[in-house]
């Protein structure tokens, strides 16, 4: 079975980075593709208990694919839900913080 921690770090890196570089004003096709990507996770993510938690969580909190700011926040909140469940610290989901971590790096 996969290493759930290494898989998690790699997956969060991919998802947060993809959200950070998602367009401010996505086309309908871009929105549909992002929705497909996210909706696939509960079906395909190769940690079955993780996938099942995510599926339940996404029913309560449907993805917001309207633009990169909303998407970055939505994903940060879903990651925080996992963090809380695992007893890890919450991350500040302000766009400045998610961009600093996943797009721009520290400012000075
Ligand atoms: P990670 O949680 O992997 O975070 C990586 C980096 O992201 C951090 O170092 C930090 O810089 C940044 N970060 C942290 N929080 C946020 C945030 N909210 N927004 C933006 N950036 C942030 N593991 C389980 O044991 N059980 C599960 O049920 C489970 N479900 C998962 C579901 C999904 C969809 C994914 C992708 C992973 C899941 N994992 C689960 C794995 C878990 O979330 C962690 O990836 C793993 O425990 C390694 O944690 P870490 O402390 O190295 O940092």
ipTM comes to: 0.99
Residues in contact with ligand 1 by the CB-under-6-Å rule are: 4-5, 8-9, 11-12, 16, 41, 45, 49-50, 53-54, 76, 79-80, 82-83, 86, 88, 91, 98, 101
- Does the structure show a pLDDT above 90 at 74? yes
Q: Residue 51: which region, alpha, beta or left (left: phi > 0; alpha: psi -120 to 50)?
A: alpha
* 34, 81 contact by CB (below 8 A): no
Tens-place pLDDT, residues 28-57: 999 999 999 999 999 999 999 999 999 999
| C-alpha–C-alpha distance, residues 108 and 92, integer Å | 20
Query: ∠ at Cα 20 (75, 49), nearest 5°?
Result: 30
Residue 107 is predicted with a pLDDT of 82
CA 11 to each of CA 78, 81, 101, 108: distance values in angstroms, whole numbers, following the listed order: 13, 15, 15, 28
The number of distinct structural domains making up the chain is 1
Q: Find the CATH number of the domain harbouring 10.
A: 1.20.120.310
As a whole number, mean pLDDT of residues 61-81 equals: 98
Identify the domain containing residue 27 by its residue range: 4-104
| C-alpha–C-alpha distance, residues 34 and 37, integer Å | 5
Closest to 66 (Cα-Cα) out of 38, 99, 32, 96: 32
Residue 68 is predicted with a pLDDT of 98
Residue 108 is predicted with a pLDDT of 75
As a whole number, mean pLDDT of residues 88-104 equals: 98
């Amino acid at each position: 079975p996969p290493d759930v921690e290494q898989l998690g770090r790699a997956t969060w890196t991919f998802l947060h980075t993809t959200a950070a570089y998602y367009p401010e004003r996505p086309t309908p096709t871009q929105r549909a593709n992002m929705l497909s990507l996210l909706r696939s996770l509960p079906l395909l993510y190769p940690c079955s208990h993780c996938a099942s938690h995510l599926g339940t969580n996404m029913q309560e909190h449907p993805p917001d694919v309207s633009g990169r700011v909303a998407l970055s926040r939505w994903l940060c909140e879903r990651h925080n839900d996992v963090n809380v469940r695992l007893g890890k610290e919450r991350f500040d989901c302000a766009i400045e913080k998610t961009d600093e971590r996943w797009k721009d790096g520290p400012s000075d």
